[in-house]
Amino acid sequence: MERMLIDMPTPTPTLSDDLLSRMDRSGPRYTSYPTADRFVEAFTERDLQQALSQRQLGAVGGAGGPLSVYVHLPFCESVCYYCACNKVVTRDHDRSAPYIDAVLHELDLVCDVMGRGVHTTQLHFGGGTPTFLSDAELDRLMQGLRARLKFAERGEYSIEIDPRTVTRDRLQHLRELGFNRVSFGVQDFDEAVQRAVHRLQPFEQVQALMSDARELGFDSINVDLIYGLPLQTTESFSRTVRQVAGLRPDRIALYGYAHLPQRFKPQRRIVNEQLPSGGQRIGMLSQAISGFISHGYQYIGMDHFALPDDPLAQAKRQGRLHRNFQGYSTQPDCDLVALGVSAISRIGVTYSQNAKTLDEYYDGLRRGLLPVVRGLVLSRDDLVRRAVIMSIMCHGRLSYESVSLAHLIDVHTYFRHELEALAGLEADGLLIRDNDGFELTALGWYFVRAVAMVFDRYATTDQARERFSKVI
């Protein structure tokens, strides 16, 4: 199928009330496939050790490939009501020192099987609030990681930042530690919205810190935004979009708020009546996409924008875009070792998740065990569907021939029912099909998750979809 090079619309496509109503449903964000809700407790430490051992054997023959590392740092001084992350809200900074010990102990257990000095090209600190740690604690953690892994000279080393927790001096220290990418959690600049979600941070504060980050030589600056928060309107969020675009971050992540108070206790403090409707949400998304594009940003997919010369935009143009647990990425489809409470690793054809509470996480490590509580070994069918879903999510298209050749299947037979189900989405104007495959239209990019869900054999029931956020 000839590539149509559809990025995103200007002007915005027409979104009918009928279409919005039919698409007002829940579905996965597909940072993985199968999604984490499919992990099983039958997957144990032994399964992870086997995957790490196979990786180590592959590395001897040059097939192991580079490694990506994620460290989950769960501590926060105050709770943001919208947050769905695994976190520990505390003002007791003495709690972070033993946690660093535990993370490095976990890495020792990983290296006992995988080997030490593995070539590492990507590192990400997430949370929680990674900058909850003191400068000395960040020093100790980075020294410990570098003693066990071999970091590439030109790798991507990023850290999430709550602007309320850093100064120029702290940013300078992060740069000296080797971080070359920072992500500022902004969410919204409207004061009423900030009060409604318990996260006050003035525009001027973020503006000054971003200026400092540029002067200090960070390669990339990202800003996180959320639409669908309480008291947000299309007008107020448009102001935030203009303010962010004026700051010129290299990348922007625009997430839809997932209101799941039955799963995430802090969200119970949000007043349901203050939440925007589905139509208002899509209006915010529509205006944000148009706004960022009009300011020179390229739409990467679903929730990411980047300036044209950013490596993420270059990867999108060249068909090298990937998606992992941190969202869209330029990093090749490589193994991920994730450290810390609740962290999810991907090694070979396996996913594994650590214990979700500190007590359980510490207990496993005290017994000399990798703190795995659940995971999954992917089946052949999982691998085929993962390839299809990631092609849709990253490139907005699917080549039948490519999938058939890569997985030794006949796509038309294997996905007969799924391809029949695309007819309704095609009639809605979300995609264009021919004999070679299909590609999303400009309108279809709004509902890319709904298109991907067609090929997800686990997310076909209303009960399954209830675990996820709204696709719009």
What phi and psi, each to the nearest 5 degrees, are found at residue 467?
-80, -10
Would you say 80 is a known binding-site residue?
A: yes
Would you say 258 is a known binding-site residue?
A: yes
Would you say 199 is a known binding-site residue?
A: yes
Q: Which amino acid is at 13?
A: P
DSSP class of residue 467? T
User: Which of 286, 197, 211, 201 is closest to 246 using CA atoms?
Assistant: 211
For the chain, the residue count is: 472
Reading the block at residue 6, the tokens are: 């559809």
Would you say 344 is a known binding-site residue?
A: yes
Report the alpha-carbon angle 450-419-333, nearest 5.
65
Would you say 82 is a known binding-site residue?
A: yes
Q: Is the omega angle on the peptide bond into residue 371 within 30 degrees of 0, that is, cis? A: no
Per the DSSP assignment, residues forming a β-bridge with 470 are 26
Reading the block at residue 471, the tokens are: 């696709």
Would you say 346 is a known binding-site residue?
A: no
Would you say 394 is a known binding-site residue?
A: no
Would you say 128 is a known binding-site residue?
A: yes
Q: Which amino acid is at 439?
A: E
Would you say 281 is a known binding-site residue?
A: no
Would you say 187 is a known binding-site residue?
A: yes
Would you say 160 is a known binding-site residue?
A: yes
Would you say 84 is a known binding-site residue?
A: yes
Distance (Å, whole) CA 343 – CA 353? 6
Would you say 129 is a known binding-site residue?
A: yes
Q: How far is CA 30 from the centre of its chain?
A: 9
Distance (Å, whole) CA 433 – CA 423? 9
Distance (Å, whole) CA 230 – CA 82? 9
Binding site feature residues for S-adenosyl-L-methionine: 70, 82-84, 127-129, 160, 187, 199, 224, 258, 344
Binding site feature residues for [4Fe-4S] cluster: 76, 80, 83
Binding site feature residues: 70, 76, 80, 82-84, 127-129, 160, 187, 199, 224, 258, 344
